[in-house]
A and B are shown apart, each in its own frame.
Chain A
Amino acid sequence: MRRAALVFAVWGVWLGVWTAAQLLFLHATLPEQTIQWVMLGGASAAALLTGAAVGRAGPRHEGAAQLITNESVASATVAVGLAILLVGTSFGAFLLMIGGGVTLLGVTGVLREERARRRLGRRRTR
C-alpha cells in the first residue's frame, strides 16, 4: 500500500514543481492570472492528499476475489435515474419526479444487494 501511495506522492510533487515554476513566470501579473496556478497547485495538492489517504488505507487484497453480485440492475438503474434527474433540471418537473423515482428504486436495489452480500459473507465466515 505504501508503495502505491508513492506514485500519487511523486506525481503530486512533480505538479508542485511546475506550479512553482509557473509562479516564477507569473510574478508580474499574479492577481489577474491567479486561476492558472490555483488549478495546477490544486491538482498537486489533491494528488498529495490522495497519496496520503492511500498510504493510510489497509493492506491490499492481493488479487483475491470479493463477494460480488454477478449482475446489478440496481446500479444501472441509479445511473439512468440520475441522468433523468439532471436533464429534468431544464426540462420540467415531470422529469425530475420520474428521475427521482427511478433513482430511489435503484438505490433501494443497491442496498438490498449489499445486505445480501453481507449476509452471505457472514455465513461463509461461520
Chain B
Amino acid sequence: MSAAAPALRELPARGLASTDHKRIAINLGAVAFVFFVAGGVLALIMRAQLAADGGVVSENVYNQLFTMHGSTMVYLVVVPMALAAGLYLVPLQVGAAAVAAPRLALAGLWLLVSGGVTMWCGFLTSGGAAQASWWGFDPLSDLPHSPGSGMDLWLYGVVLVTVAQMLWAGCILGTVVRRRAPGMTLLRMPVFTWTMVVTCLMVLFAFPALLVALCLLWAQRHGGGVLAGNQGAVAYQQLFWFYAHPVVYVMFFPFLGMAAEVVATFSRRRFFGYPAFVVALLAFSGMSMTVWGHHMFTFGQVTNKYFSLTSTALVVPAGIEYFDFLGTLWRGAVRFTTPLLFALAFLVQFLVGGLTGVILASPPLDYGLNMSYFVVAHFHYTIFAGSAFALFAGIYFWFPKVTGAMLREGLGRVHFVLMVIGTNLTFFPMFILGADGMTRRIAVYPPGRGWQPLNELETAGAGLIALATMVFLVNVGISLRRRRPAGDDPWEGQTLEWATSSPPPRLNFATLPPIRSFAPLLDLREAAPAPPGLADGS
C-alpha cells in the first residue's frame, strides 16, 4: 500500500532531524532515558542524605535536588516516554504509513531537549537550580522567596516541555482521526491505541492550564501583583493541579495499554472485555479531570465533598480494567516471559498505589497524611512501581520490533528480580514512616524518632534499583552487539505492528492484512487451517 507512495527522497531516515515517527520516538526515548539516569542520580544523593540523616548536602542543595528530581522525572522522563511509545506504535497499530504532522513531532523533540537543558542549566547559576518543588507553588516560587535565575530557567524549561508534549499529543490524535487504514474502525483499534487516545485528550485539554499558571507565575516574578495574596496562591494551585492530576493518568494509561498488549499476547488470548475496557477508559480519563481538588483538601478552599466523591468513584472504571486483565489471564495459555513478569508486577504494585490513593481520597484521613512520606510512597507506587514496570514490560515486548534483535531473557529476569526487590525496599517503608509522621522534603529528620533504620533500608533499595538499571543497560548493549534476530513476529503478536518487518520500513507496511477486529493477526491465525496432525485428530 504505502510502497506505492514513496517519500520525497529515498534516503534512509536517520539522524536527529528525521521526520520518521519511529526515529523521532527512538530519539525521544533516548533523551528521556538520559534524563531518567540524571534524575535517578539526584534521587541517590537524596537517599544518601536521608540514610545518614544529614551531612551529605546542605538543606539548600537538598531543596534543589528534590525539585529537580521531581521535575525531571515528571516533565522530562515519564510523560515523554509515554508519548514516545504512542508516537512509535500508534501509526503502526492503526495501519498508517506515517504520523500526522511529523514536523511538529520533530519540533517537539527539540523543544524537549531545549527545555530539559534549560531546566538543568539552573545548577550552573550562582543561586543554584529551582527549589520550589516540581509544583513551583507561589509564593514559594516568587521573586522574594526564589531569587536568582534558577527558578526562571525552571519555568522556561517547563513551558517548552509542556508545549512539546501538546504537539506530540496532537500528532498522535491526528493520526488516529485522519490516518487509520481501511477497515480500522474505532472499535477495531488495539487497546494500547485507545489508551493513547484518552491520554492525548487529557494532554490537550488539561495541559493548557499549566501554561496559564506558568505565565501568571512569570508575570508575578517579573512585575508582581498578578498572584497576590492568598487568593493568588490558591488560584495558582487550582490551575496547577488541574494540570497535575491528569498528568498522573497521562503517566498511567499508556503503560496500562502496554501491559494489556503484553498480557493478551502471552496469555495467547484476545483481550477480555474489550468494549467494556474502552468505555471504562473514556469514563476513567474524563473523571480523572475532575479530581484535582483532592490535592487541596487541607486548604479549606475547595469543595472537599465533591472531590472526595470523584476521587473515590475512580475505583469503578479502575476495577473494570483490572477485571478485564484477570479475565484475559484466566484460562489463558500463559507464557511467563520477561515482559509478562513485568506486566504482572505492574498490576500488583499499581494496586498498592491505587488502594492507598483511596485512603488519601478521604478528607479526614488526608488531613493526617498530607505532606507526609505516605503520599511520597503512594505516588511512587503508582508511577515507579506501577508505570515504570509496565514501561519495562513494553520495552522487552517491543524491543525486537524496534531493533530486530531479541533482548536476553536471562538478564531480563535478573533485571526483574532486582527491580521488584529494590522498588519495594525503597518505597514500602515510606508508608510506615509517613504514617509515623515523617514529613516529605526534609533534609534532616529529628533524632530519637527511630526513622533511620527504615531510611537506610530505603537507600539500600534505591541502590538495588540502580543496579537493576545497569543490568538492563548491559542487556541492551549485549543484545545489540551480539544480535539474535527477532524475525517479524517473535511473540505471536496480535496487532498490526507485528505484520511488518523488524524494524519496520520507512513507510511502515508493504501490505496490510485484512482488519476485522482489534486483534487482526490473531484473526489470521485462528482462520488458518490447523496443522494436518491436529486436523485428523491424530
Give residues in A with beta carbon < 8 Å to B: 1, 3-4, 6-8, 10-11, 14-15, 18, 21-22, 25-26, 29, 32-33, 35-36, 39-40, 43, 46-47, 50, 54, 57, 60-73, 75-76, 78-80, 82-84, 86-87, 90-91, 110, 113, 116-117, 120
Contact = CB atoms under 8 A, between A and B. Distances in A.
Nearest to B186: A3
Contacts of A113: 103
B118 A70 contact: no
A63 B149 contact: no
Contacts of A62: 179-182
B303 A29 contact: yes
Given A4-B176, A63-B1, A65-B5, A80 B96 contact: no
A40 B16 contact: no
B181 A25 contact: no
Given A39-B239, A60-B177, A62-B180, A73 B98 contact: no
A60 B310 CA distance: 36
B114 A79 contact: yes
B186 A18 contact: no
Majority DSSP secondary structure for residues of B touching A: helix
B305 interface: yes
B286 A11 contact: yes
A47 B106 contact: no
Nearest to A114: B103
B407 interface: no
Interface of B: 1-2, 5-9, 11, 13, 15-20, 94-98, 102-104, 106-111, 114-115, 118, 149, 152-153, 156, 159-160, 164, 176-182, 184-186, 197-198, 201, 204-206, 209, 222, 235, 238-239, 242, 282-283, 285-287, 289-290, 293, 301-303, 305-306, 310, 506-507, 509, 512
Given A54-B177, A71-B17, 17 more contacts: A7-B186, A11-B286, A15-B286, A21-B306, A40-B290, A43-B289, A65-B98, A68-B8, A70-B19, A72-B17, A73-B17, A76-B109, A79-B114, A83-B111, A86-B160, A87-B153, A110-B103
A27 B334 CA distance: 53
Contact of A10 (B160, B204, B282): B282
A54 B204 CA distance: 14
Contacts, number: 191
Nearest to A5: B177
Nearest to B106: A75
A118 B138 CA distance: 49
A69 to B, nearest CB: 5
B111 A82 contact: yes
B20 to A, nearest CB: 7
B180 A63 contact: yes
Contacts of B106: 72, 75-76, 79
5 contacts: A63-B512, A70-B20, A79-B109, A79-B111, A83-B114
Contact of B7 (A14, A65, A78, A110): A65
A67 B283 CA distance: 37
Contacts of B176: 4
Contact of A25 (B97, B153, B305): B305
